[in-house]
Amino acid sequence: MTRSPTGTTPTPLRITRPIATSRPAPRAAGYAERSGPLVRAGARSRVALTALAAALVTAVLGWRYAGATDAGSTDRELTALLDAQHGASRVLAQAFAALGGPLPVAVALVALAPLAWFLRGGRGLALVLLGPPTAMVTTSLVLKPLVERTRGGELAFPSGHTTSVASLAVACGVLVLGLTAVPRALRLLAVSGLAALVLAVGVGLVVRGYHYPTDTLGALGVAAAVVLGAALAIDAWSDVVGDPGPDPRSFDPRERPTDVLPRAAR
């Protein structure tokens, strides 16, 4: 109790409490990266155009070489540039070509899944489990029988080995580029290393005579289109499902429903 300044009449002492707000508590940068989008909002239109362009490249090549059994002029010129029939180059080409086999790809996929969960949360895990497998299935079960380009009696377009390695590399690239806590130079260096690995695998397949160069180019288009499309789809779905809507604590019971409605023009 306190006394009023003009008399002895006691006045009640009021204790005010801080008003609760809906502002979330600050969180660590690592949490924001794990719960954040795979592709930042400002880059989604460019990523969508990239995926569309990649799909278009594969479609044009598939139409051009549908039913073919031999190399085109572009294939012959590129193969002549990459030809290495002797020595360490041939052994190295075989080693890189083998990276696209079922066992190395399965091991890489199993190892990448928990790492994606640790770095980028549920969205990262969904990208690894949906993107590369979908690209591989699209190549082996859809495009190869549809295009029917053969080499040595086997379906060749697009290259399944290249699709496997490239799709995993694109998924890794999406995960790495979203790690804003890592210096940009290191992220770009990692992406450059992934691109070099994919290029080495494609060159190895051509040098060893397993595929034509355009087979590997078509596979790159499949990998980019499917994995980037999957990243955009996962972000769109997560944004819808994860939106909690308006905070009920911000509701003012004194506010009439008509106060929030736009007034009709008179």
Tokens of 3: 């006394």
Answer for the pair 220, 201: CB distance below 8 angstroms, yes or no: no
User: For residue 10, what pLDDT is reported?
Assistant: 57
Q: Please report, in angstroms and rounded to a whole number, the separation of the first and last CA atoms in the chain.
A: 55
**pLDDT tens digits, residue range 141-175?**
999 999 999 998 899 999 999 999 999 999 999 99
Is the confidence at residue 231, as pLDDT, over 90? yes
- Domain extent, residue 167, equals 36-240
How many folded domains does the chain comprise? Answer: 1
- pLDDT, residue 262, reads 55
DSSP-derived secondary structure for 105-152: HHHHHHHHHHHHHHHHHHHHHHHHHHHHHHHHHIIIIIIHHHH--EET
Q: Give Cα separations from 101 to 41, 83, 96, 210 (angstroms).
A: 35, 22, 10, 12
pLDDT digits (tens, 9 = 90+) for 199-222: 999 999 998 889 999 999 999 999
Examine residue 27 and state whether it is found in any structural domain, yes or no.
Answer: no
Would 17 be classed as within a structural domain?
no
Is 220 inside a domain boundary? yes
Q: Give the pLDDT band (50/70/90) at residue 244.
A: low
| Contact predicate 100/192, CB 8 Å | no
Could you tell me if residue 265 is inside a domain?
Answer: no
Judge whether 88 lies within some domain.
Answer: yes
pLDDT of residue 24: 47
Q: Write down the pLDDT at residue 25.
A: 45
pLDDT at 134 over 90: yes
Cβ pair 46, 224 in contact under 8 A: no
Q: Is residue 130 part of a domain?
A: yes
pLDDT band of 26, cuts 50, 70, 90? very low
Q: What is the mean pLDDT of residues 173-198?
A: 94
Of 2 and 59, which is predicted with more confidence?
Answer: 59
Predicted local confidence at residue 89, as pLDDT: 75
Average pLDDT, rounded, for the chain: 83
